[in-house]
Structure 1
Amino acid sequence: MSWDVSVQRFGKEYESIADIPDTERCMELGSQTEIRRVISPFFPGVDWSDSTWGIFDSDDGSVEFNMGGDEPSTGFMMHIRASTKIVPTIVAMCRSERWQALDCSGGVFLERAMEPNSGLEDWATYRDHVTGRT
């Protein structure tokens, strides 16, 4: 179980998923190698031993980067099991590349959200309820 965030770039930056026209297509982010070069400074120590599935572990939690196999890539998924301390790093990474990070549970772009932590907080509450954590 994770909080899932999908990362893409569009022809323009959208305020919400509802603003994306049916004719919009994801733009290329670059090669898998280029994308890993962007991610790694924001998440130092990512284990890229499987180049299609990076794993970042820290005291604040973990992020798995599901890169898929497309070359060049038009997006990737982040599977997050971490505290809200990780969210500003995700937002900063996306802003640096004009990427948009879609909170799959809430349908909002993190870099546009008034409260980008809310999806992760909701996920943590649900996780704690399901697993019996208090």
Structure 2
Amino acid sequence: MSWDLSIQRFTKPYADASEIPQDERCLPLGSREGVQRAISEVFVGTDWTEPTWGIYGSVDGSIEFNMGESDPNEGFALHVRASTKVLPMIIELCHRHDWQALDWSSGEFLEQSENPGASLEAWLKYRDQIVGGK
């Protein structure tokens, strides 16, 4: 169980998935190696033993980066099992590279959201309820 996001780059920024026109096409993010390097600059210590699946861990939790096989990389998923302390890092990654982080739960883009932590907070509450709380 995780809170999930996807990272893409579009021809222009969108606030919500509903704004994306039918004919919009994602732009490549860069080479797989370049995208891995970009992630590792923000999420220091990410383990890329499996090149299509990076794993970041810290005292605040973990994030799995599902890169897929494509090169150049056209987008990737984040499977977050961490506190809201990782949100500024995800947003920083997006701002540095003109990427957008789509929250699969809300349909909003984190870096455009007035409350980027709302969906993660709801997921954390749900997770704690399911696993017996903290």
Q: State the TM-score, normalizing by the size of structure 2.
A: 0.97
Unaligned 5+ runs, structure 2: none
Q: State the TM-score, normalizing by the size of structure 1.
A: 0.97
In the alignment, is residue 60 of structure 1 matched against residue 57 of structure 2? Answer: no
Measure, in 2, the Cα distance between the counterparts of 1:40 and 1:104.
23
Measure, in 1, the Cα distance between the counterparts of 2:105 and 2:19.
17
- The alpha carbon displacement at 1:97 in A equals 0.5
Task: Provide the residue aligned with 1:94 in structure 2.
Answer: 94
Measure, in 2, the Cα distance between the counterparts of 1:124 and 1:91.
19
In the alignment, is residue 121 of structure 1 matched against residue 118 of structure 2? Answer: no
Task: Provide the residue aligned with 1:105 in structure 2.
Answer: 105
Measure, in 1, the Cα distance between the counterparts of 2:109 and 2:118.
12
Count of equivalent residues: 134
State the identity %.
51
Measure, in 2, the Cα distance between the counterparts of 1:14 and 1:114.
13
Name the amino acid aligned to 2:113: A
Q: Which runs of 4+ in 1 moved over 2 A?
A: none
Q: Deviations over 1:72-99 (max 9, x none)?
A: 1110000000010000010011011110
- The alpha carbon displacement at 1:30 in A equals 0.9
Measure, in 2, the Cα distance between the counterparts of 1:80 and 1:66.
11
In the alignment, is residue 85 of structure 1 matched against residue 85 of structure 2? Answer: yes
Instruction: Note the aligned Cα RMSD (angstroms).
Output: 0.8
In the alignment, is residue 42 of structure 1 matched against residue 34 of structure 2? Answer: no
Name the amino acid aligned to 2:26: C
Unaligned 5+ runs, structure 1: none
Task: Provide the residue aligned with 1:15 in structure 2.
Answer: 15
